[in-house]
Chain A
């Protein structure tokens, strides 16, 4: 099976702009989670989608949003970018469902976002 793919791999934006990142999960996986990774803060959970519904949400401002499509592909959007949003954004997929709590997550390579 193909792994988790994320596009684009690199992005450079300026403050105030908005950005959309895309994630295609492993075929058959219905759960998609998004994380922000920065050197000082480690992995910060953004949100999780399962069958097109947001199932969990981290402690990020409303500028961060996401959605999931019927084919399980997911997008996240960040509006009004700030310098502090510069980070590696990781997407992870898992089988989800009732067994989802003990299934491991499979990560994509990430999108490196730089905000100038």
Chain B
């Protein structure tokens, strides 16, 4: 079955330090991968996506993610964390199959806490 895993329920990092939020996926074929962020009491916001091309994708708010096909991973990174980055982060992958009605498969989310 096609799936997405976010192995860490929570990540803690000190402000100014680099952060990584991990995501691994299991789909056959070429994946379309997404990261979203949810700030407290708000809807989800799109951060970045990988469709094809350069394995390093840059997105909003200084975030970037690296697609690694051999490790089937798409980890989210930021060189220097801010307290305001504290939020819930979701990784998602588009189903790989024929047709246009391919739904997104979501990870369970990782809560990021950036400590001052």
Interface residues of A (CB under 8 A from B): 4, 33, 41-43, 45, 48, 50, 55-56, 58, 90, 92, 96-98, 100-102, 104-110
Docked pose: A89 CA to B106 CA in angstroms? 15
- Of A42, A45, A102, the contact of B107 (CB 8 Å cutoff): A42
* CB-defined contacts of B100 to chain A, threshold 8 Å: 55, 96-98, 100-101
- Of A42, A101, A108, the contact of B94 (CB 8 Å cutoff): A101
Interface size on B, residues (CB 8 A): 21
Q: Are A48 and B42 in contact (CB under 8 A)?
A: no
Measured between C-beta atoms, what is the minimum distance from B113 to chain A in Å?
16
Also in contact, A43 and B90, with CB within 8 A (given A98-B100, A100-B100): yes
12 extra A-B contacts, CB within 8 A, seeds A41-B108, A104-B46, A108-B43: A42-B106, A43-B44, A43-B90, A45-B104, A45-B106, A55-B100, A56-B102, A97-B100, A98-B100, A104-B34, A105-B44, A106-B46
Closest residue on chain A to residue B6 by CB atoms: A42
Q: Are B108 and A42 in contact (CB under 8 A)?
A: yes
Q: Are A102 and B109 in contact (CB under 8 A)?
A: no
> 3 nearest interchain CB pairs?
A107-B43, A42-B108, A104-B46
Q: Are A107 and B45 in contact (CB under 8 A)?
A: yes
Measured between C-beta atoms, what is the minimum distance from A43 to chain B in Å?
4
* CB-defined contacts of A45 to chain B, threshold 8 Å: 103-104, 106
Q: Are B104 and A102 in contact (CB under 8 A)?
A: no
Docked pose: A108 CA to B38 CA in angstroms? 11
Q: Are B107 and A56 in contact (CB under 8 A)?
A: no
- Of B46, B101, B106, the contact of A43 (CB 8 Å cutoff): B106
Measured between C-beta atoms, what is the minimum distance from A61 to chain B in Å?
18
- Of A43, A102, A110, the contact of B32 (CB 8 Å cutoff): A102
B22 at the interface (CB under 8 A from A): no
Q: Are A101 and B102 in contact (CB under 8 A)?
A: yes
- Of B43, B49, B106, B107, the contact of A104 (CB 8 Å cutoff): B49
